[in-house]
Amino acid sequence: MTLPQRAKVEAAPNFLANLDDARHFFTEQDETSAPARFRQLRSRLREMVAMLTWAPASGRPARFLSGHSVQARMRAERVLALAAQAGLPELREYVVEQHVVLYAHSATEVVLLALKHERQLGYSVS
């Protein structure tokens, strides 16, 4: 019996910037609880990464790609450009408590592209 190949998971600079933004937001909301809340988010993200190494397609299809408005298409184009830069064909979302992670993947590689709170309208992409 052979074990399935593990995918390599990396974080794009944009994802790391979004994670830092989340940490700052936690601090602005409540400085006392921010460190614990941020540790919990990071812990859940580590669990997600472990899952993605074994099952890169385990997230849901990226919902924003089905938008029909001009704004939705413009947001989708920016994110599709990030995926193209990563050279990965599939875009998916993984829900981590109140956050959604956008990632691009193939069978052997995963790149975390962006992180947003579920109440944010779109991903912050540069």
The answer to whether the pTM exceeds 0.85 is: no
Residues 113, 126: contact at Cβ < 8 Å?
no
2-53 pLDDT tens trace = 556 789 999 999 999 999 999 999 999 999 999 999 999 999 999 999 999 9
Residues 53, 7: contact at Cβ < 8 Å?
yes
pLDDT at 122 over 70: no
Across the chain, which distance is largest between two alpha carbons, in Å?
Answer: 51
Q: Tell me which residue has tokens 């193209």.
A: 84
Confidence at residue 73, expressed as pLDDT on a 0 to 100 scale = 77
Angle at 47 between CA 40 and CA 43, to 5 degrees: 20
Nearest of 79, 70, 71 to residue 100 by alpha carbon: 79
73-95 pLDDT tens trace = 777 777 777 777 777 868 899 99
Local structure of 101: helix, strand or coil = strand
